[in-house]
């Protein structure tokens, strides 16, 4: 090559233009240059690319090693012989030089995100979503400078968002939703975000304010941060963005509705602000300024302002929203007045929800002009007059909910024109007249509820023939008459039928077995006659059947005993006769299912024996054999006793010394008085319904009077269920071991194979639930409780003392597992007693709270650990019953005492719960969550008493919030709770000054302030 190059140079040097020289110069020089470039560049590049792939492969294998794999794992081909670009979920760039994409979605991966992923420097897309990753987000990911899309959503990631992610300047999408991230969003994250389009941090535990620096993202069009704990106001800098969707629901954002911000976001299409702490203008009295600000948002499609207690009238300007406006959600506010006629101008409105407000007047007929309307919610308001006929003109209406109003008049025939109707709720009104047969034209109905009205006449055959009703039909609590229509048998898909509390006649026809999906039947409190058909045994899915308080007669079909799913049967107050079947459900049934059927007989305790059985036992042969056996047994018993006595005298001295030692130990056996099931039946008047004082999932409680005139409460267990028997055994085990002034004591128990009952002291004041939510019509209307603040504090203190004993001082520690107001009883002096230990767990002393060691094996290992609303969140993830779980239930109960809101109240939907609702008002408008009857009690008090009242309310709320924290390790013990409540009780009962009480809590009086409110910082320091 050198020779040819020299020749070429010589040709050029001497100006040789011969053909051969020209050829050499033109051919060899380019070839030389190509070879030179190859030697300098190409060979090292191949080596570099090879090394990069090796580095990428090593990074991926390190990630795999941080994952808990199983034999069927999707990462099974992540092994050395396989080329890295062929790994599952891995994609390389066009030339297969670097890994450019890692997508692992919904693969069930469990483990950490390895920081070695930061070595994938060619990565553009990183998506590891819908798995079970835990731990933190590695800060080393800042090395992925080419990353465009980061999606780690739907995992269990914890800790803060690393501030180092701010260096990912090319990032366009970041989704960290549905994790357990906490802390604040670093302001630096938005310092260099000109490429950022989409941010989704929803469903985490992020706190603090939304950084003002978010305005540095001019191309940001989607911001989802709902279901977090952000506070403060929405930053005005958002006006510098290009927001199309803004969803900040379920946070603690405050201030007035952001009218200035919204009017400067003309491209906004979806605006979701629900369940925050915002107020309307003019001190929460005027919605007009905010609605007017939306007139600039011509693209607006959805507006959601639910669950904020917004006050004011619905302004006329609501009708001037954009032409594309389709969803308006204003439920659970304090909007009053009538619906403005201008609402009918929203021609594309598909969903309108005004549930749970203070709206009154009539439902405007102009709503019929909303021709695109699909869902109309107007329930729980104060609407009067009739249902407009014009509603039948909304052809696309699929859901109509007008329940819980004061509507009167007849149901319009025009409702039958709504051929697309799936859900119709007109219950709890004052509707009268007959059920229009035209409803039979709504052939797509899934749910129909006309209950609790004043409807009369017969049930139209056209309605019962709606074969598409597949969930429930409820016509109960009306004045319906006529025979039970046979067309009912056409409802092959219906799951629940409730026609109770009417005046229906006729019989139950055999064709009812055609309703093969039926799970629930309630025909009680009618005038039905005839026999129960044997075909009932063909309803294989039937769980509950109530035909009580009718005029039924004949034998009970034995076919009902074949139903394995049957869990509840009520045939009481009828005229059934003959022997009660013995198979299936009837093996474990109780007299409660058959009360006031005097002609029934059987082997169930409390039910008279059948005559054939008595004759068999009274025959001469049987009596002869019985007497002979008794005589022989007596002789053998006497002989054995004599021998045993001689042997006993030989060891009595040893027993005496051992007895002396045992006398120092707790005695867990007691000589309870003996009582038979017949005596209990007589004491309760045959378990008369008039003496029923309570019922639950495992049994019913009756008031009874023993022969010695002692008034008792008799808890009769439903022995149909195996769990009820376990519950009985468990409650006996617990009650014979515990003794405390704040725990219910047992008088005696009765246990035979088919009947089990506990005899407990009778509490004239009933349960705490009864006093919180008084059940008489008058008290329900007043919406009040008779418990004063001092009584509530004393009751909470009593409960805490009883629970602290169970957890820390009882000879065998007990986890209650079902603490709630209905399981707290009140003595004559209002002392609270914790009761109902049917699903409790026993722990041996010294065992940690998280590992409840069962002393009775696994008899209740699969039993449900509590009642809905009171169950600790960790139980939902498979955690064992623990003392921390009881603390959570106690915290819910404390919050319930302050708010008089059940944790399963209808307002707690879509992620909102009692803890979040109270906490959202804790720092600012705490009076919004306090029971109105408590507030009324404080109005006429002296300034000093008001200060004491406010301090006590704050302390109760703070204790409730502490006890209901998500993490079990951050909750106090019941000893701590009992100690705090004891101090609070002394403070209220002794009339201490604010300074004295504050010092007892370790808080200076200056911290409490003039209005006795804790500062937010104190609450944060105490981990609220």
- Categorize the per-residue pLDDT at 1007 as very low, low, confident or very high, splitting at 50, 70 and 90: very low
pLDDT for 465 equals 57
763-1021: CATH number: 1.10.510.10
Decide if pLDDT at 471 tops 70.
yes
Q: pLDDT tens digits for 749-790? A: 887 767 888 888 898 888 898 888 865 433 333 356 778 899
Cα 69 to the center of its chain, rounded Å:
32
When pLDDT is averaged across residues 484-496 and rounded to a whole number, the result is 85
Query: Minimum mean pLDDT among 170-184, 369-383, 615-629: which range?
Result: 615-629
Are 387 and 412 in contact, with CB atoms under 8 Å apart?
yes
DSSP state of 784: -
Instruction: Name the E strands within 340-461.
Output: 351-353, 358-361, 375-377, 382-383, 399-401, 408-409, 423-425, 430-431, 447-449, 456-458
H helices present in 847-971, as ranges: 883-899, 914-922, 932-938, 943-963
pLDDT for 992 equals 46
Are 819 and 893 in contact, with CB atoms under 8 Å apart?
yes
Angle at 340 between CA 338 and CA 345, to 5 degrees: 150
Q: Show the tokens assigned to 101.
A: 């994409």
CATH topology of domain 673-762: Phosphorylase Kinase; domain 1 (3.30.200)
Query: Minimum mean pLDDT among 42-46, 162-166, 675-679: which range?
Result: 42-46
Close Cβ partners of 542 (under 8 Å, ≥ 6 residues apart): 518, 519, 521, 536, 563, 565, 566
Average pLDDT, the chain: 81
Of 1013 and 600, the one with more pLDDT: 600
β partners of residue 447: 423, 472
Q: Show the tokens assigned to 95.
A: 């030339």
Q: Compute the distance between CA of residue 864 and CA of residue 867 in angstroms, rounded to an integer.
A: 8
How many angstroms separate the first and last alpha carbons of the chain?
Answer: 82
pLDDT for 940 equals 62
Three-state DSSP state, 401: strand
Q: Compute the distance between CA of residue 574 and CA of residue 580 in angstroms, rounded to an integer.
A: 14
Are 401 and 355 in contact, with CB atoms under 8 Å apart?
yes
In the chain, CATH 1.10.510.10 sits at 763-1021
Angle at 351 between CA 348 and CA 356, to 5 degrees: 140
Decide if pLDDT at 659 tops 80.
no
When pLDDT is averaged across residues 412-436 and rounded to a whole number, the result is 92
- Categorize the per-residue pLDDT at 474 as very low, low, confident or very high, splitting at 50, 70 and 90: very high
- Residue 918: half-sphere exposure toward Cβ, Cα within 13 Å: 31
- Categorize the per-residue pLDDT at 23 as very low, low, confident or very high, splitting at 50, 70 and 90: very low
Alpha-carbon radius of gyration of the chain? 37
Q: pLDDT tens digits for 608-619? A: 888 754 444 444
Q: Show the tokens assigned to 313.
A: 């009238």
Q: Show the tokens assigned to 425.
A: 């709720």
pLDDT for 717 equals 79
Q: pLDDT tens digits for 427-456? A: 999 999 999 988 888 877 888 999 999 999
Q: Compute the distance between CA of residue 317 and CA of residue 197 in angstroms, rounded to an integer.
A: 32
Q: pLDDT tens digits for 311-326? A: 999 999 998 887 889 9
Measured over the CA atoms of residue 735, residue 745, residue 673 and residue 758, the dihedral's sign is negative
pLDDT for 987 equals 84
Angle at 669 between CA 664 and CA 672, to 5 degrees: 135
Cα 839 to the center of its chain, rounded Å:
20
When pLDDT is averaged across residues 55-82 and rounded to a whole number, the result is 83
Q: Show the tokens assigned to 271.
A: 């605006």
Decide if pLDDT at 104 tops 70.
yes
Q: pLDDT tens digits for 660-715? A: 333 333 333 344 567 887 888 888 888 888 888 887 766 788 899 888 888 899 88
pLDDT for 642 equals 56
Q: Compute the distance between CA of residue 754 and CA of residue 513 in angstroms, rounded to an integer.
A: 30
Q: pLDDT tens digits for 196-255? A: 999 999 999 999 999 999 999 999 999 999 999 999 999 999 999 999 999 999 999 999
Q: pLDDT tens digits for 858-915? A: 333 334 467 888 999 888 777 788 899 999 999 999 999 999 989 988 788 767 889 9
Catalytic residues: 818
Cα 32 to the center of its chain, rounded Å:
77
pLDDT for 662 equals 33
Q: Compute the distance between CA of residue 140 and CA of residue 120 in angstroms, rounded to an integer.
A: 11
β partners of residue 557: none
Mind spelling out the 3-state secondary structure of 60-73? HHHHHHCEECCCCC
Q: pLDDT tens digits for 941-999? A: 777 787 888 889 999 999 999 999 988 888 999 999 999 999 998 888 765 444 334 33
- Categorize the per-residue pLDDT at 467 as very low, low, confident or very high, splitting at 50, 70 and 90: low
Decide if pLDDT at 105 tops 60.
yes
pLDDT for 632 equals 67
The Cα-based distances of 320 to 260, 297, 450 in angstroms read 18, 11, 35
When pLDDT is averaged across residues 111-124 and rounded to a whole number, the result is 93
Q: Compute the distance between CA of residue 886 and CA of residue 817 in angstroms, rounded to an integer.
A: 6
Close Cβ partners of 186 (under 8 Å, ≥ 6 residues apart): 160, 161, 162, 163, 166, 211
Angle at 757 between CA 755 and CA 763, to 5 degrees: 155
Q: pLDDT tens digits for 553-583? A: 999 999 998 888 888 899 999 999 999 998 8
Angle at 888 between CA 886 and CA 892, to 5 degrees: 115
In the chain, CATH 3.30.200.20 sits at 673-762
Q: Compute the distance between CA of residue 886 and CA of residue 815 in angstroms, rounded to an integer.
A: 7
Decide if pLDDT at 33 tops 60.
no
Of 622 and 661, the one with more pLDDT: 622
Q: Compute the distance between CA of residue 457 and CA of residue 950 in angstroms, rounded to an integer.
A: 55
Q: Which of 348, 300, 355 is nearest to 332 (CA)?
A: 355
pLDDT for 394 equals 93
Three-state DSSP state, 461: helix
H helices present in 710-864, as ranges: 722-735, 768-772, 777-782, 789-804
Cα 114 to the center of its chain, rounded Å:
34
Close Cβ partners of 989 (under 8 Å, ≥ 6 residues apart): 790, 794
- Rounded (10°) CA dihedral 88, 90, 94, 100: 180
715 is in an annotated binding site: yes
Angle at 136 between CA 134 and CA 137, to 5 degrees: 115
- Strand 245-247 and strand 832-834: the pairing is unpaired
Q: Which of 933, 871, 945 is nearest to 899 (CA)?
A: 933
């Amino acid at each position: 090559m050198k020779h040819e190059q020299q020749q070429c140079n010589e040709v050029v040097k001497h100006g040789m233009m011969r053909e051969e020289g020209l050829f050499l110069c033109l051919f060899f020089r380019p070839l030389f240059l190509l070879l030179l470039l190859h030697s300098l560049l190409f060979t090292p590049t191949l080596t570099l690319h090879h090394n990069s792939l090796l580095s990428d492969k090593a990074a991926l294998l390190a990630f795999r090693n941080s994952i808990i794999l199983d034999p069927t794992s999707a990462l099974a081909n992540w092994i050395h012989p396989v080329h890295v670009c062929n790994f599952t979920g891995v994609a390389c760039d066009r030339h297969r030089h670097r890994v450019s994409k890692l997508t692992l979605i919904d693969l069930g991966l469990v483990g950490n995100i390895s920081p070695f992923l930061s070595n994938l420097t060619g990565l553009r897309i990183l998506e590891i979503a819908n798995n079970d990753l835990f731990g933190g987000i590695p800060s080393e990911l800042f090395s992925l400078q080419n990353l465009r899309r980061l999606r780690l959503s739907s995992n269990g990631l914890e800790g803060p968002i690393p501030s180092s992610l701010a260096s990912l300047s090319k990032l366009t999408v970041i989704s960290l939703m549905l994790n357990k991230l906490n802390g604040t969003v670093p302001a630096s994250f938005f310092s260099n975000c000109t490429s950022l389009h989409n941010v989704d941090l929803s469903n985490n535990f992020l706190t603090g304010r939304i950084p003002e620096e978010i305005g540095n993202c001019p191309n940001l069009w989607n911001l989802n941060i709902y279901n977090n704990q952000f506070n403060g106001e929405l930053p005005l800098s958002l006006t510098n963005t290009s927001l199309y969707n803004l969803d900040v629901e379920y946070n603690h954002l405050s201030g007035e509705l952001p009218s200035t911000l919204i009017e400067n976001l003309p491209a906004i299409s979806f605006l979701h602000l629900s369940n925050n702490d915002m107020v309307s203008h003019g001190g929460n009295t005027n919605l007009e300024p905010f609605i007017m600000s939306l007139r600039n948002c011509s693209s607006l499609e959805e507006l959601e302002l639910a669950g904020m207690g917004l006050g004011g009238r619905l302004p006329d300007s609501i009708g001037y929203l954009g032409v594309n406006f389709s969803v308006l959600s204003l439920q659970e506010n304090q909007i009053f007045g009538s619906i403005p006629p201008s609402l009918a101008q929203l021609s594309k409105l598909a969903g309108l929800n005004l549930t749970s407000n203070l709206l009154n007047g009539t439902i405007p007929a102009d709503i019929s002009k909303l021709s695109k309307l699909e869902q109309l919610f107007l329930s729980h308001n104060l609407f009067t007059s009739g249902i407009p006929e014009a509603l039948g003109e909304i052809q696309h209406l699929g859901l109509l909910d007008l329940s819980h109003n004061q509507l009167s008049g007849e149901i319009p025939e025009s409702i039958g024109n709504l051929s697309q109707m799936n859900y119709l709720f007109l219950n709890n009104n004052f509707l009268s007249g007959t059920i229009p047969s035209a409803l039979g034209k709504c052939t797509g109905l899934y749910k129909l509820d006309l209950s609790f009205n004043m409807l009369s006449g017969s049930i139209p055959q056209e309605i019962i023939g709606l074969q598409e009703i597949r969930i429930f039909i409820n016509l109960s609590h009306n004045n319906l008459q006529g025979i039970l229509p046979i067309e009912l048998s056409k409802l092959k898909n219906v799951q629940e039928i409730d026609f109770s509390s009417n005046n229906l006649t006729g019989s139950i026809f055999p064709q009812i077995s055609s309703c093969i999906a039926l799970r629930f039947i309630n025909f009680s409190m009618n005038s039905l006659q005839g026999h129960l058909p044997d075909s009932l045994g063909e309803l294989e899915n039937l769980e509950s059947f109530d035909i009580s308080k009718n005029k039924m007669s004949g034998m009970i079909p034995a076919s009902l005993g074949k139903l394995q799913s049957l869990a509840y049967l009520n045939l009481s107050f009828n005229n059934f006769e003959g022997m009660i079947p013995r198979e299936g459900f009837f093996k474990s049934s109780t007299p409660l299912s058959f009360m006031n059927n005097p002609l029934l007989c059987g082997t169930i305790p409390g039910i008279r024996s059948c005559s054939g059985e008595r004759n068999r036992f009274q025959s001469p042969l049987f009596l002869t054999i019985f007497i002979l056996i008794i005589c022989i047994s007596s002789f053998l018993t006497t002989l054995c006793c004599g021998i045993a006595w001689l042997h006993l005298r030989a060891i009595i001295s040893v027993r005496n010394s051992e007895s002396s030692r045992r006398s120092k130990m707790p005695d867990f056996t007691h000589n309870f008085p003996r009582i038979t099931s017949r005596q209990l039946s007589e004491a309760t008047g045959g378990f008369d319904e008039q003496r029923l004082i309570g019922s639950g999932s495992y049994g019913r409680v009756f008031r009874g009077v023993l022969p010695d005139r002692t008034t008792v409460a008799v808890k009769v267990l439903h022995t149909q269920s195996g769990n009820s028997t376990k519950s009985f055994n468990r409650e006996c085990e617990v009650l014979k071991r515990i003794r405390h002034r704040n725990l219910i004591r047992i008088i005696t128990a009765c246990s035979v194979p088919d009947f089990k009952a506990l005899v407990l002291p009778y509490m004239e004041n009933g349960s705490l639930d009864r006093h919180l939510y008084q059940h008489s019509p008058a008290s329900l209307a007043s919406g009040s409780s008779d418990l004063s603040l001092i009584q509530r504090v004393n009751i909470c203190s009593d409960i805490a003392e009883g629970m602290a004993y169970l957890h820390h001082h009882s000879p065998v520690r007990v986890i209650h597992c079902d603490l709630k107001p209905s399981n707290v009883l009140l003595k004559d002096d209002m002392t609270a007693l914790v009761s109902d230990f049917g699903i409790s767990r026993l722990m041996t002393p010294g065992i940690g709270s998280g590992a409840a060691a069962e002393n009775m094996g696994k008899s209740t290992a699969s039993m449900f650990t509590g009642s809905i609303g009171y169950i600790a969140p960790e139980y939902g993830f498979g955690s064992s019953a623990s003392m921390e779980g009881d603390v959570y239930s106690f915290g819910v109960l404390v919050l319930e005492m302050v708010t008089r809101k059940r944790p399963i109240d209808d307002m707690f939907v879509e992620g909102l719960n009692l803890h979040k609702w109270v906490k959202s008002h804790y720092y600012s408008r705490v009076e919004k969550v306090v029971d109105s009857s408590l507030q009324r009690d404080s109005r006429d008090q002296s300034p000093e008493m008001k200060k004491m009242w406010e301090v006590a309310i704050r302390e109760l709320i703070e204790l409730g919030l502490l006890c209901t924290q998500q993490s079990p390790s951050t909750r106090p013990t019941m000893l701590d709770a009992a100690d705090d409540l004891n101090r609070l009780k002394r403070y209220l009962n002794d009339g201490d000054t604010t300074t004295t009480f504050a010092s007892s809590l370790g808080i200076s009086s200056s911290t409490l302030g003039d209005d006795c409110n804790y500062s937010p910082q104190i609450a944060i320091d105490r981990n609220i």
